[in-house]
C-alpha cells in the first residue's frame, strides 16, 4: 500500500505541490520559446491549485464529520460542502472570464483545478 493510500489528507497536498512546481518550471521553459504571458499563466495555475486543495480539504473534513455523525445516529449531509466546492470552482472560472484572459491562462487553471485528481491517478499508474 502506498503512502497516498495510507494517509491521503497528508500526502496529496505534498505531491500536488511537487507537481505544481514542476509545471511552473515547464511553463517557464515554454515561455522562453512561445510568446505568452508567463506571469498570468503561472498565477492562474497556482490560484486554481489552491482552490483545488481547499476543495480537497473540504471533502476530507466533510467526510470525517459525515461519518462521525452517521455513526452517532444523527442525520448528516454532504450537500453544503459540495455546494461550496462548486461555488469556489465557478468563482475561479468567472474570475478568469471577467479578466478576459487568453487560452493559456484558462488551460493552466483547468490543469490546476484537476491537480488533485491527476496526483491520485499518477499514484496508481506509478505503483504498477
pLDDT digits (tens, 9 = 90+) for 63-97: 888 888 888 888 878 888 889 989 999 998 888 88
pLDDT digits (tens, 9 = 90+) for 31-60: 888 887 788 889 989 999 999 999 888 888
CA 113 to mean position of chain CA atoms: 4
pTM above the 0.85 mark?
no
The DSSP result for 12-27, as a single string, is: HHHHHHHHHHHHHHHH
Amino acid at each position: 500500500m502506498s503512502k497516498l493510500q495510507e494517509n491521503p489528507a497528508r500526502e496529496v497536498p505534498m505531491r500536488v505541490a511537487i507537481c505544481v512546481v514542476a509545471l511552473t518550471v515547464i511553463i517557464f521553459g515554454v515561455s522562453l520559446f512561445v510568446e505568452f504571458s508567463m506571469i498570468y499563466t503561472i498565477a492562474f495555475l497556482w490560484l486554481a491549485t489552491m482552490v483545488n486543495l481547499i476543495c480537497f480539504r473540504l471533502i476530507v473534513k466533510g467526510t470525517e464529520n459525515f461519518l462521525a455523525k452517521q455513526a452517532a445516529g444523527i442525520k448528516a449531509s454532504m450537500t453544503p460542502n459540495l455546494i461550496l466546492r462548486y461555488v469556489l470552482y465557478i468563482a475561479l472560472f468567472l474570475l478568469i472570464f471577467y479578466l478576459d484572459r487568453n487560452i493559456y491562462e484558462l488551460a493552466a487553471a483547468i490543469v490546476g483545478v484537476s491537480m488533485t485528481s491527476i496526483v491520485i491517478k499518477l499514484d496508481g499508474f506509478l505503483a504498477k
